[in-house]
Chains A and B, each alone.
Chain A
Amino acid sequence: MNFDFSDDQKLLKDQAQKFLAEHCPPKAVRRILDGEDTYDRALWKRIGEMGWTATAIPEEYGGLGLGPLELCVIAEELGRAVAPVPFSSTVYLAAEAIMLAGSGEQKKKYLSKIASGELIGTLAAAEGPQPLSPRAIHATLKGGKLDGTKTPVIDGEIADIAIVVARTSDEPGERGIGLAIVDLKGAGVSRKAVKTLDPTRNHAAITFKGAAAEALGAPGTGYANLMRVLDRAAVFMAFEQVGGADASLAMARQYAIERYAFGRQIGSFQAIKHKLADVYVNNQIARSNAYFGAWALSTNAPETPEAAAGARVSACEAYHVAAKENIQTHGGMGFTWELDCQLHYRRAKLLGLAIGAPRVWKEKLVAHLEKKNAA
């Protein structure tokens, strides 16, 4: 039994944690929260220099050729730090989609620039407040031209390229959906900032009017590829969520030790103890489910969709609970703009919805369980 990260991977995690403690303290996150910039450019540049964006990209495309496990440990630390950089959009979504479905030429063109940190990418899937489904896609891709509006698009204002989910034919269901790579700086693309509950990550509404788009993947495979990309992203995001949930618990614990009421530390009251013990249990459950997701990705296991859904459902729940109970433990102070509790409460909401709400992933999970336990 070796259900753990290797010593090298743990070392990478420690380095990432120290690096982010120095270069991404809460005040750096708050600078973005307060609207001084759309993302932390200096941090993003350093992350590129460190090679984090290159982690899982093959060496022939300028990457480090490491695997998903290395990416998982970095993700956990980015989540812990609530890093205000376009990492998940560029690495888990855009790069993974290109690695999965891109032609040799597309990989060559985009992956090396992602690896070096020069290029910011994203996925433009959502078209308003509803779950993803073939029926919900109205943007159209015909003859290399894209039309329609995508919103919210994470890092939509700052991204150089987007993987866009669009209708490619009138065929009903999944077969009518395709993916395309679009240069967001090209003609026919207009972007407008969208305010969200988590201003530490940029969001935009992007309108395409005859924008040039290159197809990503074979016709008819777009939706299936999208699902595979989201499965993989779910695992990486689960690690961000687990990191954030642990950070929330650490904050609550620290406050419960320092804060006195009724003549004693509030952490000595069972009302607080039991609350934080529950958070700890949730976090451990989520961590273990995330590890299983990591194992599935690292071995290309047939269980990947089930493992990814389990990791996501568990991590969404854990981060939500940890972030809200962190505020609760801080009492009135937790509700102030001044304290950092809000950073996790906001990020938990973003990560919990950005690639589909838990409700949708629970349905996916049970569909897989049904197949596995076929009567």
Chain B
Amino acid sequence: MDFNDTKEEAAFRAEVRAWLEANAQPRTEQSGFARARMSEADALKRAKEWQAKKAAKGYARITWPKEVGGLGGTPMQSVIYGQEEAKFDVPTGFFEIGLGMCIPTVMKFTTPENIARFVRPALFGEEIWCQLFSEPAAGSDVAGLRTRAERDGDDWVINGQKVWTSGAHYSDYGIVLTRTDANVAKHKGLTMFFLSMKSPGVDVRPIRQINGGANFNEVYFNNVRIPDSQRLGEVGKGWDVALVTLMHERLAVGGGAGGTGPDVRELIALARATELEDGPAIRNAAVREKIADFHVRTQGLKYTTYRTMTALSKGQVPGPEASIGKIVSAVKLQDLTHFATELEDMGGYVVGDGAPQDGAFQQAYMWAPGLRIAGGTDEILKNIIAERVLGLPADMRADKDLPFAKLPTGR
């Protein structure tokens, strides 16, 4: 039992490290703040430049075959690259959905011509993709979506509304799941397409979140016309195509263990700096007990990730323990930042520059509710663990044998 690289892994790490040192600046404590102050347009410009460099070296998608611009590497090499890149001040966050979910789906279900046309520009950061699945009436129950695609000659005409589309406002293309038959059961009447986000009739409107940011969008489709050649998979088989997309989402390994906000180290720093009624907070037994509780969650998650990486390193498929990451980290972020604001007591709801740690706890407290919902709510993730890991029976479904058009609807 050790945390060491194999000989091959060490060699790859050294190679990646040398390239990063030659092409990027090391990350400092100020990097995060500098990035937070940058406008989205500037950040995007910087990210595109970096992506082009990475792609030219084959590092944009380590595990993809060389023929499509990847490195032909292993999942473990992909993890190693991610670990090393995280030590450098490089822009991230614009291409993950496209390259992680959309393009793999497109590659599996479209023609060689389309692959030749779309994969490379996505890899080099020239074109950004988004995923148009969720709708106002179809969140956790995404197969309940209502956006219609109707056949018209060689074209399809799309009408409806998507929501929670990350990055739609700067995306060039998207994959969109639509309903093509409302008279069969809900999973059976779906069809997947891809389209240009610049198509006439596509209207993108940012959603303002409770934390003041606008990472997500509403996307309206008003008689958007797309050719049948942009269909992905068979008509009525859209759910199977969507499962491929979502499977790729779950394959994303290595996250969950941090990087989303303040954690135990920051909490200890706050407890040291904060005076309670009977002395420094770090000396208070109740505070110390809480710190210990958060610490074992953070560490437990970190070492769970190491177990997953060990499986990858041995060329095995990671076990189901890989599925716990977001449930643990999102709830912990909310609980930990809640506790931190209570330590700050009567001043704990002050935000921004005047607040301790520049308001990092307050900022994360307002982001945490989103983290518990995005990419699968806590409840859906628990269902997945219960059904797929523990093998408990599926929930009874009121909508199972009804045609979509006959389903009861509320708001």
Binding site for B on A (CB under 8 A): 1-6, 69, 249, 253, 256-257, 264-265, 267-270, 272-274, 276-278, 280-281, 284-289, 291-292, 294-295, 298-299, 309-310, 313-314, 317, 359, 361-363, 365-366, 369-370, 373, 375
The docked-state distance in angstroms from the alpha carbon of A267 to that of B321 is: 20
Query: B139 to chain A: closest CB distance in Å?
Result: 16
Beyond the given A267-B393, A285-B328, A288-B301, please list 18 additional residue pairs across the A-B interface where CB-CB is below 8 A: A1-B313, A6-B1, A69-B1, A249-B390, A274-B379, A277-B389, A280-B389, A287-B321, A288-B302, A288-B304, A288-B321, A298-B1, A309-B292, A310-B295, A310-B296, A317-B296, A362-B289, A365-B296
Give the CA-CA distance A273 to B268 in the complex, in Å. Answer: 35
Q: List 6 A-B contacts (CB under 8 A).
A: A267-B392, A273-B395, A288-B304, A288-B307, A295-B1, A362-B293
Give the chain A neighbours of B282 by CB distance below 8 A.
370
Q: What residues on B are CB-neighbors of A373 within 8 Å? A: 265, 268-269
Q: Which residues of A contact B296 (CB under 8 A)?
A: 285, 289, 310, 313-314, 317, 365
Residue ranges of B at the interface with A (Cβ–Cβ < 8 Å): 1-6, 9, 76, 264-265, 268-269, 272, 282, 285, 288-289, 291-293, 295-297, 299-304, 306-307, 309-311, 313, 321, 324, 327-328, 379, 381-383, 385-387, 389-396
Q: Which residue of A lies closest to B5 (CB)?
A: A1
What is the distance, in angstroms, from A364's C-beta to the closest C-beta of chain B?
9
Taking a contact as CB atoms closer than 8 A, the residue among B1, B301, B379, B382 that contacts A2 in the complex is B1
Question: CA separation between A313 and B1, bound complex, in Å?
Answer: 22
Interface residues of B, dominant DSSP: helix
Q: Is the CB of A314 within 8 A of B382?
A: no
- Max chain A C-beta neighbours (<10 A), residue from B264, B295, B389: B295
> Do the beta carbons of A4 and B383 come within 8 Å of each other?
no
Distance A105 CA – B270 CA, assembled complex (angstroms): 52
Interchain nearest-CB distance for B274 vs A (Å): 13
Contacting pair A284 B4 (CB below 8 A) = no
C-alpha gap A294/B285 in the complex (Å)? 28
Given contacts A2-B4, A314-B296, A369-B295, contact A289 B303 (CB under 8 A): yes
Residues on A with beta carbons closer than 8 Å to the beta carbon of B264:
369
For residue B13, give the distance in angstroms from its CB to the closest CB of chain A.
11
* Cβ distance A144 to chain B, nearest Cβ, rounded Å: 40
Cα A91 to Cα B406 with chains together (Å): 66
> By the criterion CB–CB under 8 Å, are B3 and A257 in contact?
no
Closest A residue to B321 by beta carbon equals: A284
Q: Which residues of B contact A314 (CB under 8 A)?
A: 296, 300
Cross-chain contact B310 with A257 (CB below 8 angstroms):
no
Q: Which residues of A contact B299 (CB under 8 A)?
A: 288-289, 292, 310
Residue in chain A with minimal CB distance to B385: A277
Contacts A295-B1, A313-B296, A366-B288 given; indicate if A253 touches B391 (C-beta within 8 A): yes
> In the complex, are the beta carbons of A273 and B387 less than 8 A apart?
yes
- List of A residues within 8 angstroms of B285 by Cβ: 363
* B268 touching A369, Cβ below 8 Å: yes
| Closest A residue to B312 using CB positions | A1
Asked if residues B307 and A274 are in contact (CB atoms below 8 Å), the reply is no
- Complex contact B1–A3 (CB within 8 A): yes
Interface of A is mostly: helix
| Nearest CB of chain A from residue B288's CB, rounded to whole Å | 4
- Residues on the A chain within 8 Å of B328, using CB: 281, 285
Partner among A3, A249, A317, A361 whose Cβ is within 8 Å of the Cβ of B303 = A3
Tell me, in angstroms, the Cα distance from A264 to B392 when the chains sit together: 12
Known: A268-B395, A281-B328, A366-B288. A5 touches B1 (CB 8 A): yes
What residues on B are CB-neighbors of A286 within 8 Å?
A: 300
Contacts of A284 in B (CB 8 A): 300, 304, 321, 324
Q: Which residue in chain B gives the minimum CB-CB distance to A366?
A: B288
The residue in chain B whose Cβ has the minimal distance to the Cβ of A250 is B390
User: Please, how many angstroms separate the alpha-carbon atoms of A123 and B265 in the complex?
Assistant: 36
B-side contacts of A2, CB under 8 Å: 1-4, 6, 310, 313
Please judge, given known A-B contacts A289-B300, A310-B295, whether A3 and B306 are in contact too, CB under 8 Å: yes
Q: A4-B310, A272-B392, A273-B392 are in contact. Are A370 and B268 (CB under 8 A)?
A: yes
Contact A277 B1 (CB under 8 A): no
A256 touches B310 (CB 8 A): no
Identity of the chain A residue whose Cβ is nearest the Cβ of B285 in the assembled complex? A363
In the complex, the answer to whether A4 meets B392 with C-beta atoms within 8 Å is no
Asked if B300 and A285 sit within 8 Å, CB to CB, the answer is yes
Asked whether A268 lies within 8 Å of B392 as measured between CB atoms, the reply is yes
CB pair B392–A276 under 8 Å, yes or no, is yes
Identify B291's interface contact among A281, A294, A366, CB under 8 A. Answer: A366
- Considering only CB atoms, which chain A residue lies closest to B306 in the complex? A3
Query: In the complex, which residues of chain B have a beta carbon less than 8 angstroms from the beta carbon of A361?
Result: 292
Contact partners of B268 in chain A: CB under 8 A: 369-370, 373
In Å, the complex CA distance between A120 and B319 comes to 39
| Contacting residues, chain B, for A268 (C-beta < 8 A) | 392-396
Complex formed: what's the CA distance from A192 to B44 in Å?
75
